[in-house]
Amino acid sequence: MFTGLIQDVGKVRGVEKAGDTRIEIATEFNLSEVAIGASLACSGICLTVTEKKSSWFAVEVSAETLSKTTLGDWQKGHLVNLERSLTLGDELGGHLVFGHVDGVAEIVSRLPDGDSTRFQILPPRDLAKFIAPKGCITIDGVSLTVNEVEDSKNKTIFGINIIPHTLEHTGFGQTMPGDRVNLEVDMLARYVARLLPDIDEGKT
């Protein structure tokens, strides 16, 4: 479990495709404190450390994970938002993030908005119902607040604002229109949606 507060921006140093895909990621984490088998959120995807050296670690990625995330797009040099898993007593500064990517969204626009940067994002149609103004959303592992949601007959687009600190200390600094990003909706929204049919039918 994670919070969506990025602790380091790593960089892909190698991708090997043979059976499962093996990805090596360079990081400034003190990897002596990261055990083999530990979980790390890599741009919002919960992955298991399978090998490590002093300045990089490796993960193995299944075909299922490749099909549900942006991992298939990653090449050498790709920036990766990194967060270690929570331990008891850690500050919960973002929101509860599980590292289970729900789908891949697309960046529609990137525009200056005062000192911040406003991004508009097109989510998969089946996830749009879980996104609400002022609600929580996780984009590439970053805990964010939804500013607005614009619904039309054919699509839904939502907006987020990225402050300068977040732009500088995450991969958002290099994220541009047309890029694909990992999206995890708020788990609370999922449970509410699950209960809604029973509420509508007067069962609760």
Q: In CATH, what number does 8-84 get?
A: 2.40.30.20
In this structure, how many other beta carbons lie within 10 angstroms of the beta carbon of residue 184? 27
CA–CA distance, 53 with 36 (Å, rounded to integer):
11
Query: Alpha-carbon Rg of the chain, whole angstroms?
Result: 17
pLDDT of amino acid 204: 43
What is the chain's pLDDT, residue by residue, as a tens digit (204 residues)? 899 999 999 999 999 988 889 999 999 999 999 999 999 999 999 999 999 999 999 999 999 999 999 999 999 999 999 999 977 666 776 788 999 999 999 999 999 999 999 999 999 999 999 999 999 999 999 999 999 999 887 899 999 999 999 999 999 999 999 999 999 998 888 788 777 765 444 444
Evaluate whether the domain defined by 103-198 bears CATH number 2.40.30.20.
yes
Order across the sheet with 142-145: list the strands: 142-145, 136-139, 180-185, 103-113, 116-122, 156-162, 148-151
Domain boundaries, the chain: 8-84, 103-198
Closest CA to 4 of 79, 85, 97, 89: 97
* Per-residue pLDDT at 6: 96
pLDDT at 197: 63
Q: Do residues 127 and 183 make contact, with C-beta atoms less than 8 angstroms apart? A: yes
**Identical fold, 8-84 and 103-198:** yes
